Chain A
Protein backbone atom coordinates (compact mmCIF):
# COMPACT_ATOMS: atom_id res chain seq x y z
CA UNK A 1 0.00 0.00 0.00
CA UNK A 2 1.62 3.21 -1.17
CA UNK A 3 -0.77 5.95 -0.16
CA UNK A 4 -4.10 5.77 1.63
CA UNK A 5 -7.16 5.60 -0.57
CA UNK A 6 -9.67 8.38 -0.66
CA UNK A 7 -12.16 6.01 0.96
CA UNK A 8 -9.90 5.44 3.97
CA UNK A 9 -9.45 9.18 4.41
CA UNK A 10 -13.19 9.74 4.13
CA UNK A 11 -13.85 7.09 6.75
CA UNK A 12 -11.32 8.68 9.12
CA UNK A 13 -12.97 12.08 8.70
CA UNK A 14 -16.40 10.55 9.30
CA UNK A 15 -15.25 8.70 12.40
CA UNK A 16 -13.66 11.81 13.85
CA UNK A 17 -16.76 13.89 13.14
CA UNK A 18 -18.81 11.32 15.05
CA UNK A 19 -16.45 11.26 18.03
CA UNK A 20 -16.42 15.07 18.08
CA UNK A 21 -20.12 15.09 18.98
CA UNK A 22 -19.76 13.77 22.55
CA UNK A 23 -16.69 15.98 23.10
CA UNK A 24 -18.60 19.10 22.10
CA UNK A 25 -21.62 18.04 24.15
CA UNK A 26 -19.47 17.60 27.27
CA UNK A 27 -17.54 20.86 26.72
CA UNK A 28 -20.68 22.96 26.20
CA UNK A 29 -22.32 21.26 29.18
CA UNK A 30 -19.24 22.13 31.24
CA UNK A 31 -19.45 25.73 30.04
CA UNK A 32 -23.06 26.03 31.23
CA UNK A 33 -22.34 24.22 34.49
CA UNK A 34 -19.48 26.65 35.23
CA UNK A 35 -21.74 29.59 34.48
CA UNK A 36 -24.39 28.18 36.84
CA UNK A 37 -21.80 27.76 39.61
CA UNK A 38 -20.50 31.31 39.21
CA UNK A 39 -22.05 34.54 40.50
CA UNK A 40 -22.79 35.46 36.87
CA UNK A 41 -26.32 36.83 36.38
CA UNK A 42 -27.69 36.63 32.81
CA UNK A 43 -30.27 39.36 33.47
CA UNK A 44 -27.71 41.94 34.55
CA UNK A 45 -25.41 40.92 31.74
CA UNK A 46 -28.22 41.21 29.19
CA UNK A 47 -29.75 44.46 30.37
CA UNK A 48 -26.57 46.17 31.51
CA UNK A 49 -27.09 49.54 33.19
CA UNK A 50 -30.70 49.70 31.98
CA UNK A 51 -31.59 47.04 34.55
CA UNK A 52 -30.55 49.24 37.47
CA UNK A 53 -33.54 51.57 37.19
CA UNK A 54 -36.07 48.94 36.13
CA UNK A 55 -38.95 47.93 38.42
CA UNK A 56 -39.39 44.44 39.77
CA UNK A 57 -42.12 43.48 37.30
CA UNK A 58 -39.95 44.24 34.26
CA UNK A 59 -37.07 42.35 35.85
CA UNK A 60 -39.24 39.31 36.47
CA UNK A 61 -40.49 39.37 32.89
CA UNK A 62 -36.91 39.62 31.62
CA UNK A 63 -35.88 36.75 33.87
CA UNK A 64 -38.67 34.58 32.51
CA UNK A 65 -37.87 35.55 28.91
CA UNK A 66 -34.20 34.72 29.32
CA UNK A 67 -34.99 31.52 31.16
CA UNK A 68 -32.67 32.69 33.93
CA UNK A 69 -34.42 30.61 36.59
CA UNK A 70 -34.40 27.37 34.61
CA UNK A 71 -31.91 24.73 35.70
CA UNK A 72 -28.68 25.09 33.73
CA UNK A 73 -29.20 21.76 31.97
CA UNK A 74 -32.41 23.14 30.46
CA UNK A 75 -30.65 26.33 29.36
CA UNK A 76 -27.85 24.24 27.92
CA UNK A 77 -30.25 22.13 25.88
CA UNK A 78 -32.08 25.28 24.74
CA UNK A 79 -28.81 26.83 23.56
CA UNK A 80 -27.79 23.60 21.86
CA UNK A 81 -31.01 23.20 19.86
CA UNK A 82 -30.87 26.84 18.79
CA UNK A 83 -27.18 26.56 17.89
CA UNK A 84 -27.99 23.54 15.74
CA UNK A 85 -30.44 25.77 13.86
CA UNK A 86 -27.75 28.41 13.37
CA UNK A 87 -28.77 30.82 16.14
CA UNK A 88 -26.02 31.40 18.70
CA UNK A 89 -27.74 34.26 20.49
CA UNK A 90 -27.02 37.97 20.67
CA UNK A 91 -23.70 39.49 21.69
CA UNK A 92 -24.24 42.42 24.03
CA UNK A 93 -20.71 43.83 23.71
CA UNK A 94 -20.62 43.76 19.89
CA UNK A 95 -24.33 44.68 19.60
CA UNK A 96 -24.96 42.12 16.86
CA UNK A 97 -25.82 38.41 16.55
CA UNK A 98 -22.98 36.08 17.58
CA UNK A 99 -22.99 34.38 14.18
CA UNK A 100 -22.35 37.75 12.52
CA UNK A 101 -19.46 38.48 14.89
CA UNK A 102 -17.89 35.15 14.02
CA UNK A 103 -18.58 35.55 10.30
CA UNK A 104 -16.93 38.97 10.16
CA UNK A 105 -13.91 38.15 12.29
CA UNK A 106 -13.03 34.56 11.47
CA UNK A 107 -11.39 35.60 8.18
CA UNK A 108 -8.91 37.90 9.89
CA UNK A 109 -7.96 35.37 12.56
CA UNK A 110 -7.49 32.68 9.94
CA UNK A 111 -5.32 35.01 7.85
CA UNK A 112 -3.17 35.93 10.86
CA UNK A 113 -2.75 32.35 12.05
CA UNK A 114 -2.03 30.94 8.57
CA UNK A 115 0.65 33.52 7.82
CA UNK A 116 2.17 33.02 11.27
CA UNK A 117 2.12 29.23 11.01
CA UNK A 118 3.67 29.35 7.54
CA UNK A 119 6.52 31.56 8.73
CA UNK A 120 7.01 29.41 11.82
CA UNK A 121 7.24 26.17 9.84
CA UNK A 122 9.74 27.66 7.36
CA UNK A 123 11.98 29.37 9.91
CA UNK A 124 11.70 26.52 12.41
CA UNK A 125 12.65 23.86 9.86
CA UNK A 126 15.56 25.93 8.61
CA UNK A 127 16.89 26.59 12.11
CA UNK A 128 16.36 22.97 13.13
CA UNK A 129 18.24 21.56 10.13
CA UNK A 130 21.11 24.03 10.58
CA UNK A 131 21.39 23.07 14.25
CA UNK A 132 21.14 19.33 13.60
CA UNK A 133 23.92 19.31 11.01
CA UNK A 134 26.57 19.43 13.69
CA UNK A 135 25.16 18.60 17.14
CA UNK A 136 27.17 20.40 19.81
CA UNK A 137 28.55 23.05 17.46
CA UNK A 138 28.30 26.74 18.31
CA UNK A 139 25.47 27.09 15.79
CA UNK A 140 23.56 24.24 17.44
CA UNK A 141 24.05 25.74 20.88
CA UNK A 142 23.05 29.19 19.67
CA UNK A 143 19.86 27.90 18.04
CA UNK A 144 18.97 25.74 21.04
CA UNK A 145 19.51 28.40 23.71
CA UNK A 146 17.77 31.04 21.62
CA UNK A 147 14.83 28.67 21.15
CA UNK A 148 14.54 28.05 24.90
CA UNK A 149 14.75 31.76 25.67
CA UNK A 150 12.10 32.68 23.11
CA UNK A 151 9.85 29.91 24.39
CA UNK A 152 10.18 31.27 27.93
CA UNK A 153 9.34 34.82 26.85
CA UNK A 154 5.69 35.87 27.18
CA UNK A 155 4.15 36.52 23.74
CA UNK A 156 2.51 39.78 24.77
CA UNK A 157 5.83 41.12 26.05
CA UNK A 158 7.57 40.25 22.77
CA UNK A 159 4.67 41.88 20.92
CA UNK A 160 5.03 45.11 22.91
CA UNK A 161 8.78 45.24 22.38
CA UNK A 162 8.25 44.57 18.66
CA UNK A 163 5.85 47.52 18.49
CA UNK A 164 8.39 49.69 20.27
CA UNK A 165 11.18 48.68 17.90
CA UNK A 166 9.48 48.41 14.51
CA UNK A 167 6.67 50.92 14.83
CA UNK A 168 8.02 53.56 17.19
CA UNK A 169 11.81 53.52 16.85
CA UNK A 170 12.22 52.58 13.20
CA UNK A 171 8.76 53.57 11.95
CA UNK A 172 8.80 50.63 9.52
CA UNK A 173 5.45 48.99 10.21
CA UNK A 174 2.11 50.09 11.65
CA UNK A 175 1.62 49.48 15.38
CA UNK A 176 -1.77 47.81 15.13
CA UNK A 177 -5.21 47.56 13.59
CA UNK A 178 -6.23 46.14 10.24
CA UNK A 179 -5.83 49.32 8.20
CA UNK A 180 -4.64 52.88 8.78
CA UNK A 181 -7.19 54.91 10.68
CA UNK A 182 -7.49 57.31 7.72
CA UNK A 183 -8.15 54.51 5.25
CA UNK A 184 -11.75 54.26 4.08
CA UNK A 185 -11.65 50.82 2.54
CA UNK A 186 -9.91 47.58 3.45
CA UNK A 187 -7.35 47.05 0.70
CA UNK A 188 -4.99 44.13 0.28
CA UNK A 189 -1.90 46.33 0.54
CA UNK A 190 -3.09 47.87 3.80
CA UNK A 191 -3.88 44.48 5.32
CA UNK A 192 -0.55 43.08 4.17
CA UNK A 193 1.45 45.85 5.84
CA UNK A 194 -0.60 45.50 9.01
CA UNK A 195 -0.40 41.71 9.23
CA UNK A 196 3.41 41.46 9.10
CA UNK A 197 4.17 42.53 12.66
CA UNK A 198 1.46 40.53 14.52
CA UNK A 199 2.04 37.46 12.33
CA UNK A 200 5.77 37.77 12.86
CA UNK A 201 5.36 37.86 16.64
CA UNK A 202 2.90 34.95 16.63
CA UNK A 203 5.30 33.02 14.38
CA UNK A 204 8.25 33.76 16.64
CA UNK A 205 6.35 32.20 19.53
CA UNK A 206 5.85 29.00 17.51
CA UNK A 207 9.36 28.77 16.02
CA UNK A 208 11.19 27.30 19.06
CA UNK A 209 8.97 24.27 19.15
CA UNK A 210 9.45 23.53 15.43
CA UNK A 211 13.14 24.21 15.52
CA UNK A 212 13.76 21.95 18.55
CA UNK A 213 11.67 19.07 17.20
CA UNK A 214 13.12 19.27 13.70
CA UNK A 215 16.62 19.43 15.20
CA UNK A 216 15.91 16.34 17.30
CA UNK A 217 14.32 14.46 14.41
CA UNK A 218 17.03 15.27 11.89
CA UNK A 219 19.87 14.65 14.37
CA UNK A 220 18.40 11.24 15.23
CA UNK A 221 17.90 10.42 11.55
CA UNK A 222 21.48 11.44 10.76
CA UNK A 223 22.75 8.82 13.19
CA UNK A 224 20.71 6.00 11.67
CA UNK A 225 21.38 3.36 9.03
CA UNK A 226 19.55 4.86 6.02
CA UNK A 227 21.73 7.96 6.22
CA UNK A 228 24.83 5.88 6.73
CA UNK A 229 23.86 3.87 3.68
CA UNK A 230 23.25 6.98 1.62
CA UNK A 231 26.63 8.39 2.60
CA UNK A 232 28.30 5.07 1.77
CA UNK A 233 26.75 5.20 -1.69
CA UNK A 234 28.52 8.52 -2.18
CA UNK A 235 25.51 10.80 -2.21
CA UNK A 236 26.22 14.46 -1.62
CA UNK A 237 25.85 15.83 1.89
CA UNK A 238 23.06 18.06 0.63
CA UNK A 239 21.04 15.11 -0.69
CA UNK A 240 21.68 13.16 2.49
CA UNK A 241 20.57 16.06 4.69
CA UNK A 242 17.55 17.25 2.74
CA UNK A 243 16.52 14.06 0.94
CA UNK A 244 17.05 11.50 3.69
CA UNK A 245 17.48 13.01 7.15
CA UNK A 246 14.98 15.86 6.81
CA UNK A 247 12.38 13.60 5.23
CA UNK A 248 12.34 11.14 8.07
CA UNK A 249 13.09 13.77 10.72
CA UNK A 250 10.12 15.89 9.71
CA UNK A 251 7.61 13.04 10.06
CA UNK A 252 7.23 13.09 13.85
CA UNK A 253 6.87 16.88 13.64
CA UNK A 254 3.99 16.56 11.19
CA UNK A 255 2.09 14.27 13.53
CA UNK A 256 2.42 16.82 16.31
CA UNK A 257 1.38 19.84 14.24
CA UNK A 258 -2.24 19.30 15.22
CA UNK A 259 -1.28 19.55 18.88
CA UNK A 260 -0.10 23.10 18.19
CA UNK A 261 -3.56 24.49 17.52
CA UNK A 262 -4.18 25.23 21.24
CA UNK A 263 -0.87 27.09 21.44
CA UNK A 264 -1.73 28.98 18.29
CA UNK A 265 -5.06 30.01 19.81
CA UNK A 266 -3.34 31.01 23.07
CA UNK A 267 -0.85 33.10 21.12
CA UNK A 268 -3.59 34.65 19.01
CA UNK A 269 -5.55 35.67 22.12
CA UNK A 270 -2.61 37.76 23.29
CA UNK A 271 -1.26 38.96 19.94
CA UNK A 272 -4.66 40.07 18.60
CA UNK A 273 -5.30 41.99 21.82
CA UNK A 274 -1.95 43.78 21.71
CA UNK A 275 -2.22 44.71 18.03
CA UNK A 276 -5.99 45.46 18.10
CA UNK A 277 -6.35 42.92 15.31
CA UNK A 278 -10.11 42.58 14.60
CA UNK A 279 -10.15 38.78 14.88
CA UNK A 280 -11.99 36.15 16.87
CA UNK A 281 -9.39 35.99 19.63
CA UNK A 282 -9.55 39.71 20.36
CA UNK A 283 -13.35 39.39 20.46
CA UNK A 284 -12.98 36.60 23.05
CA UNK A 285 -11.00 38.87 25.35
CA UNK A 286 -13.53 41.69 24.90
CA UNK A 287 -16.38 39.27 25.58
CA UNK A 288 -14.61 38.11 28.76
CA UNK A 289 -13.96 41.64 29.99
CA UNK A 290 -17.63 42.57 29.71
CA UNK A 291 -18.98 39.07 30.57
CA UNK A 292 -20.78 38.55 27.27
CA UNK A 293 -21.85 34.97 27.91
CA UNK A 294 -23.45 34.09 24.51
CA UNK A 295 -20.32 35.23 22.66
CA UNK A 296 -17.96 33.55 25.13
CA UNK A 297 -19.82 30.24 25.01
CA UNK A 298 -19.85 30.24 21.21
CA UNK A 299 -16.17 31.14 20.92
CA UNK A 300 -15.10 28.52 23.46
CA UNK A 301 -16.98 25.91 21.45
CA UNK A 302 -15.45 27.21 18.23
CA UNK A 303 -11.95 26.94 19.69
CA UNK A 304 -12.64 23.34 20.71
CA UNK A 305 -13.79 22.58 17.15
CA UNK A 306 -10.58 24.16 15.83
CA UNK A 307 -8.48 21.95 18.11
CA UNK A 308 -10.32 18.81 16.98
CA UNK A 309 -9.94 19.78 13.31
CA UNK A 310 -6.23 20.38 13.92
CA UNK A 311 -5.83 16.88 15.33
CA UNK A 312 -7.64 15.40 12.35
CA UNK A 313 -5.50 17.36 9.87
CA UNK A 314 -2.33 16.15 11.53
CA UNK A 315 -3.47 12.54 11.29
CA UNK A 316 -4.43 12.91 7.64
CA UNK A 317 -1.10 14.56 6.88
CA UNK A 318 0.71 11.77 8.66
CA UNK A 319 -1.19 9.15 6.69
CA UNK A 320 -0.39 10.90 3.42
CA UNK A 321 3.33 11.25 4.08
CA UNK A 322 4.08 7.95 5.78
CA UNK A 323 3.00 4.88 3.77
CA UNK A 324 3.44 2.66 6.84
CA UNK A 325 0.56 4.34 8.63
CA UNK A 326 -2.86 2.75 8.34
CA UNK A 327 -5.55 5.44 8.61
CA UNK A 328 -8.07 2.88 9.84
CA UNK A 329 -5.99 2.52 12.99
CA UNK A 330 -5.81 6.21 13.85
Chain B
Protein backbone atom coordinates (compact mmCIF):
# COMPACT_ATOMS: atom_id res chain seq x y z
CA UNK B 1 0.00 0.00 0.00
CA UNK B 2 1.35 3.39 -0.92
CA UNK B 3 1.39 6.39 1.32
CA UNK B 4 -1.55 7.99 -0.44
CA UNK B 5 -3.70 4.90 -0.16
CA UNK B 6 -2.81 4.64 3.50
CA UNK B 7 -3.80 8.24 4.19
CA UNK B 8 -7.11 7.83 2.35
CA UNK B 9 -7.84 4.66 4.28
CA UNK B 10 -6.93 6.30 7.56
CA UNK B 11 -9.26 9.24 6.76
CA UNK B 12 -12.12 6.84 6.10
CA UNK B 13 -11.34 5.13 9.35
CA UNK B 14 -11.50 8.52 11.08
CA UNK B 15 -15.00 9.07 9.75
CA UNK B 16 -16.12 5.60 10.87
CA UNK B 17 -14.61 6.09 14.33
CA UNK B 18 -16.38 9.43 14.70
CA UNK B 19 -19.66 7.93 13.63
CA UNK B 20 -19.26 5.06 16.11
CA UNK B 21 -18.31 7.50 18.84
CA UNK B 22 -21.30 9.76 18.54
CA UNK B 23 -23.63 6.83 18.13
CA UNK B 24 -22.23 5.43 21.37
CA UNK B 25 -22.89 8.82 22.92
CA UNK B 26 -26.49 8.77 21.72
CA UNK B 27 -27.04 5.30 23.13
CA UNK B 28 -25.36 6.15 26.46
CA UNK B 29 -27.36 9.28 27.06
CA UNK B 30 -30.64 7.63 26.06
CA UNK B 31 -29.81 4.92 28.62
CA UNK B 32 -29.81 7.42 31.48
CA UNK B 33 -31.76 6.05 34.43
CA UNK B 34 -35.51 6.21 34.64
CA UNK B 35 -37.98 7.41 32.09
CA UNK B 36 -36.01 9.38 29.51
CA UNK B 37 -38.50 12.22 29.76
CA UNK B 38 -38.33 12.63 33.52
CA UNK B 39 -34.84 14.01 33.65
CA UNK B 40 -35.34 16.48 30.86
CA UNK B 41 -38.29 17.95 32.66
CA UNK B 42 -38.08 20.41 35.51
CA UNK B 43 -40.14 19.80 38.60
CA UNK B 44 -43.33 21.73 39.16
CA UNK B 45 -44.62 21.46 35.63
CA UNK B 46 -48.21 20.77 34.76
CA UNK B 47 -48.80 17.71 32.59
CA UNK B 48 -49.58 20.00 29.64
CA UNK B 49 -46.32 21.88 30.03
CA UNK B 50 -44.61 18.55 30.30
CA UNK B 51 -46.10 17.32 27.06
CA UNK B 52 -45.10 20.52 25.38
CA UNK B 53 -41.54 20.29 26.65
CA UNK B 54 -41.26 16.68 25.49
CA UNK B 55 -42.47 17.71 22.06
CA UNK B 56 -40.00 20.60 22.03
CA UNK B 57 -37.15 18.27 22.78
CA UNK B 58 -38.37 15.88 20.15
CA UNK B 59 -38.54 13.04 22.66
CA UNK B 60 -41.92 11.81 21.42
CA UNK B 61 -40.48 11.08 18.01
CA UNK B 62 -39.46 7.54 17.09
CA UNK B 63 -35.87 6.71 18.01
CA UNK B 64 -34.45 6.81 14.49
CA UNK B 65 -35.91 10.29 13.92
CA UNK B 66 -34.36 11.39 17.20
CA UNK B 67 -31.06 9.92 16.09
CA UNK B 68 -31.07 11.78 12.77
CA UNK B 69 -31.99 14.99 14.53
CA UNK B 70 -29.19 14.37 17.03
CA UNK B 71 -26.62 13.86 14.28
CA UNK B 72 -27.81 17.02 12.54
CA UNK B 73 -27.40 18.99 15.76
CA UNK B 74 -23.92 17.64 16.41
CA UNK B 75 -22.81 18.45 12.89
CA UNK B 76 -24.04 22.01 13.24
CA UNK B 77 -22.41 22.32 16.67
CA UNK B 78 -25.75 22.75 18.42
CA UNK B 79 -25.78 20.94 21.76
CA UNK B 80 -28.97 22.46 23.09
CA UNK B 81 -29.57 24.38 26.31
CA UNK B 82 -27.87 23.67 29.59
CA UNK B 83 -30.43 22.87 32.31
CA UNK B 84 -28.39 24.49 35.05
CA UNK B 85 -27.03 27.60 33.36
CA UNK B 86 -29.97 28.12 31.02
CA UNK B 87 -27.54 29.13 28.31
CA UNK B 88 -26.65 27.44 25.06
CA UNK B 89 -24.22 24.62 25.85
CA UNK B 90 -21.92 25.63 23.02
CA UNK B 91 -21.12 29.02 24.51
CA UNK B 92 -20.50 27.58 28.01
CA UNK B 93 -18.25 24.84 26.67
CA UNK B 94 -16.23 27.10 24.39
CA UNK B 95 -14.82 29.08 27.32
CA UNK B 96 -14.21 25.96 29.45
CA UNK B 97 -12.57 24.17 26.57
CA UNK B 98 -10.10 27.02 26.09
CA UNK B 99 -9.22 26.92 29.81
CA UNK B 100 -8.63 23.19 29.62
CA UNK B 101 -6.46 23.52 26.52
CA UNK B 102 -4.28 26.20 28.13
CA UNK B 103 -3.81 24.08 31.26
CA UNK B 104 -3.15 20.78 29.54
CA UNK B 105 -0.93 22.23 26.82
CA UNK B 106 1.26 23.82 29.48
CA UNK B 107 1.40 20.56 31.42
CA UNK B 108 2.28 18.51 28.35
CA UNK B 109 4.95 20.92 27.15
CA UNK B 110 6.60 20.75 30.56
CA UNK B 111 6.24 16.97 30.69
CA UNK B 112 7.81 16.48 27.28
CA UNK B 113 10.66 18.93 27.71
CA UNK B 114 11.62 17.43 31.06
CA UNK B 115 10.92 13.87 29.94
CA UNK B 116 12.96 14.06 26.74
CA UNK B 117 15.92 15.65 28.51
CA UNK B 118 15.89 13.19 31.39
CA UNK B 119 15.28 10.20 29.17
CA UNK B 120 18.13 11.15 26.85
CA UNK B 121 20.53 11.57 29.76
CA UNK B 122 19.37 8.28 31.29
CA UNK B 123 20.10 6.52 28.02
CA UNK B 124 23.44 8.27 27.64
CA UNK B 125 24.62 7.38 31.13
CA UNK B 126 23.29 3.85 31.10
CA UNK B 127 23.96 1.65 34.11
CA UNK B 128 24.87 4.65 36.18
CA UNK B 129 23.47 5.62 39.52
CA UNK B 130 21.66 8.42 37.71
CA UNK B 131 19.90 6.00 35.39
CA UNK B 132 18.82 3.62 38.14
CA UNK B 133 17.60 6.44 40.35
CA UNK B 134 15.90 8.07 37.39
CA UNK B 135 13.93 4.93 36.60
CA UNK B 136 12.68 4.64 40.16
CA UNK B 137 11.65 8.31 40.23
CA UNK B 138 9.86 7.93 36.88
CA UNK B 139 8.00 4.82 38.00
CA UNK B 140 6.96 6.54 41.22
CA UNK B 141 5.63 9.49 39.21
CA UNK B 142 3.77 7.11 36.93
CA UNK B 143 2.27 5.28 39.91
CA UNK B 144 0.73 8.40 41.34
CA UNK B 145 -2.78 9.21 40.18
CA UNK B 146 -3.17 12.85 39.10
CA UNK B 147 -5.31 13.75 42.08
CA UNK B 148 -2.71 12.44 44.49
CA UNK B 149 0.11 14.45 42.90
CA UNK B 150 -2.18 17.48 43.04
CA UNK B 151 -2.95 16.97 46.72
CA UNK B 152 0.73 16.60 47.63
CA UNK B 153 1.62 19.78 45.73
CA UNK B 154 -1.32 21.61 47.32
CA UNK B 155 -0.25 20.53 50.79
CA UNK B 156 3.36 21.52 50.32
CA UNK B 157 3.18 24.70 48.24
CA UNK B 158 -0.14 26.12 49.34
CA UNK B 159 -0.99 24.94 52.83
CA UNK B 160 2.54 24.66 54.17
CA UNK B 161 4.65 27.20 52.27
CA UNK B 162 1.80 29.42 51.11
CA UNK B 163 3.49 30.29 47.81
CA UNK B 164 0.56 29.79 45.50
CA UNK B 165 -3.19 30.35 45.52
CA UNK B 166 -5.06 27.13 46.30
CA UNK B 167 -7.70 27.07 43.61
CA UNK B 168 -9.41 28.66 40.68
CA UNK B 169 -7.95 30.37 37.67
CA UNK B 170 -7.68 33.95 38.86
CA UNK B 171 -8.11 35.87 42.07
CA UNK B 172 -11.72 36.83 42.60
CA UNK B 173 -12.34 40.45 41.75
CA UNK B 174 -9.59 40.26 39.19
CA UNK B 175 -10.37 41.66 35.80
CA UNK B 176 -12.08 39.39 33.35
CA UNK B 177 -12.33 39.78 29.65
CA UNK B 178 -9.91 41.41 27.28
CA UNK B 179 -7.96 39.61 24.62
CA UNK B 180 -6.24 36.25 24.78
CA UNK B 181 -3.01 37.71 26.17
CA UNK B 182 -4.85 39.67 28.84
CA UNK B 183 -6.79 36.58 29.84
CA UNK B 184 -4.01 34.03 29.85
CA UNK B 185 -0.90 36.15 30.17
CA UNK B 186 -1.38 37.96 33.46
CA UNK B 187 0.89 37.23 36.39
CA UNK B 188 -2.13 36.37 38.54
CA UNK B 189 -3.23 33.78 36.01
CA UNK B 190 0.24 32.26 35.76
CA UNK B 191 0.40 31.91 39.55
CA UNK B 192 -2.86 29.99 39.44
CA UNK B 193 -1.69 27.95 36.49
CA UNK B 194 1.59 26.78 37.97
CA UNK B 195 0.49 24.02 40.35
CA UNK B 196 -2.17 22.36 38.18
CA UNK B 197 0.20 22.43 35.23
CA UNK B 198 2.99 20.96 37.34
CA UNK B 199 0.61 18.22 38.49
CA UNK B 200 -0.11 17.32 34.89
CA UNK B 201 3.56 17.50 34.00
CA UNK B 202 4.48 15.03 36.74
CA UNK B 203 1.63 12.72 35.81
CA UNK B 204 2.58 12.63 32.11
CA UNK B 205 6.33 12.66 32.57
CA UNK B 206 6.88 8.91 32.68
CA UNK B 207 5.95 8.01 29.12
CA UNK B 208 8.35 10.35 27.29
CA UNK B 209 11.13 9.67 29.80
CA UNK B 210 11.04 5.88 29.53
CA UNK B 211 10.49 5.95 25.78
CA UNK B 212 13.29 8.43 25.19
CA UNK B 213 15.60 6.31 27.30
CA UNK B 214 14.88 3.08 25.46
CA UNK B 215 15.09 4.59 21.96
CA UNK B 216 18.30 6.31 23.03
CA UNK B 217 19.69 2.90 23.97
CA UNK B 218 18.74 1.57 20.55
CA UNK B 219 20.27 4.50 18.73
CA UNK B 220 23.43 4.37 20.81
CA UNK B 221 23.94 0.78 19.70
CA UNK B 222 23.83 1.84 16.06
CA UNK B 223 27.05 1.97 14.07
CA UNK B 224 26.82 5.60 13.09
CA UNK B 225 27.24 6.66 16.70
CA UNK B 226 30.49 4.71 16.87
CA UNK B 227 31.59 6.41 13.68
CA UNK B 228 30.74 9.84 15.02
CA UNK B 229 32.69 9.08 18.16
CA UNK B 230 35.59 7.77 16.08
CA UNK B 231 35.54 10.98 14.08
CA UNK B 232 36.60 12.61 17.29
CA UNK B 233 33.48 14.69 17.80
CA UNK B 234 33.00 15.86 21.36
CA UNK B 235 30.62 13.71 23.44
CA UNK B 236 28.19 16.57 23.77
CA UNK B 237 27.87 16.95 20.02
CA UNK B 238 27.29 13.25 19.55
CA UNK B 239 24.66 13.26 22.30
CA UNK B 240 22.68 16.28 21.15
CA UNK B 241 23.23 16.33 17.43
CA UNK B 242 23.19 12.66 16.60
CA UNK B 243 21.89 10.38 19.34
CA UNK B 244 19.10 12.49 20.83
CA UNK B 245 17.79 13.83 17.53
CA UNK B 246 17.41 10.37 16.11
CA UNK B 247 15.61 9.18 19.22
CA UNK B 248 12.94 11.85 19.19
CA UNK B 249 10.92 10.34 16.37
CA UNK B 250 8.79 7.87 18.35
CA UNK B 251 8.16 10.56 20.94
CA UNK B 252 6.23 12.64 18.42
CA UNK B 253 3.59 9.98 17.92
CA UNK B 254 3.35 9.28 21.61
CA UNK B 255 2.98 12.98 22.33
CA UNK B 256 -0.03 13.20 20.05
CA UNK B 257 -1.67 10.22 21.74
CA UNK B 258 -0.81 11.63 25.18
CA UNK B 259 -2.63 14.84 24.31
CA UNK B 260 -5.75 12.78 23.87
CA UNK B 261 -5.21 10.90 27.11
CA UNK B 262 -4.60 14.17 28.94
CA UNK B 263 -8.21 15.14 28.24
CA UNK B 264 -9.26 12.41 30.65
CA UNK B 265 -6.71 13.53 33.20
CA UNK B 266 -8.04 17.07 33.02
CA UNK B 267 -11.21 15.83 34.74
CA UNK B 268 -9.27 15.01 37.89
CA UNK B 269 -6.72 17.84 37.90
CA UNK B 270 -9.40 20.45 37.34
CA UNK B 271 -11.44 19.05 40.19
CA UNK B 272 -8.51 19.15 42.62
CA UNK B 273 -7.60 22.74 41.76
CA UNK B 274 -11.11 24.00 41.00
CA UNK B 275 -9.96 24.92 37.53
CA UNK B 276 -12.95 26.15 35.50
CA UNK B 277 -12.30 23.80 32.60
CA UNK B 278 -14.27 21.23 30.70
CA UNK B 279 -13.37 18.24 32.83
CA UNK B 280 -14.65 19.78 36.04
CA UNK B 281 -17.70 21.07 34.19
CA UNK B 282 -18.41 17.56 33.02
CA UNK B 283 -18.24 16.10 36.51
CA UNK B 284 -20.59 18.72 37.90
CA UNK B 285 -22.90 18.38 34.89
CA UNK B 286 -23.15 14.62 35.46
CA UNK B 287 -23.79 15.21 39.17
CA UNK B 288 -26.47 17.79 38.42
CA UNK B 289 -28.12 15.70 35.70
CA UNK B 290 -27.34 18.45 33.22
CA UNK B 291 -27.18 15.98 30.35
CA UNK B 292 -26.78 18.31 27.36
CA UNK B 293 -23.74 19.89 29.00
CA UNK B 294 -22.23 16.55 30.08
CA UNK B 295 -22.76 15.13 26.63
CA UNK B 296 -21.14 18.09 24.89
CA UNK B 297 -18.11 17.91 27.19
CA UNK B 298 -17.79 14.19 26.60
CA UNK B 299 -18.18 14.68 22.86
CA UNK B 300 -15.42 17.29 22.76
CA UNK B 301 -13.02 15.20 24.84
CA UNK B 302 -13.62 12.17 22.66
CA UNK B 303 -13.13 14.28 19.53
CA UNK B 304 -9.77 15.46 20.78
CA UNK B 305 -8.73 11.86 21.48
CA UNK B 306 -9.86 10.63 18.06
CA UNK B 307 -8.23 13.50 16.18
CA UNK B 308 -4.98 13.19 18.10
CA UNK B 309 -4.84 9.44 17.40
CA UNK B 310 -5.31 10.30 13.73
CA UNK B 311 -2.54 12.91 13.87
CA UNK B 312 -0.27 10.38 15.60
CA UNK B 313 -0.77 7.79 12.86
CA UNK B 314 -0.13 10.29 10.09
CA UNK B 315 2.87 11.82 11.83
CA UNK B 316 4.29 8.36 12.19
CA UNK B 317 4.27 7.54 8.51
CA UNK B 318 5.35 11.01 7.38
CA UNK B 319 8.25 11.20 9.78
CA UNK B 320 9.65 7.75 9.33
CA UNK B 321 10.02 6.71 5.68
CA UNK B 322 10.97 3.18 6.76
CA UNK B 323 7.51 2.47 8.13
CA UNK B 324 5.43 0.04 6.15
CA UNK B 325 1.75 0.80 5.96
CA UNK B 326 0.60 -2.43 7.55
Q: Do A and B bind each other?
A: no
Interface residues, chain B, with chain A CB atoms under 8 Å away? none
Write the residues of chain A forming the contact surface with B, with a CB cutoff of 8 angstroms: none
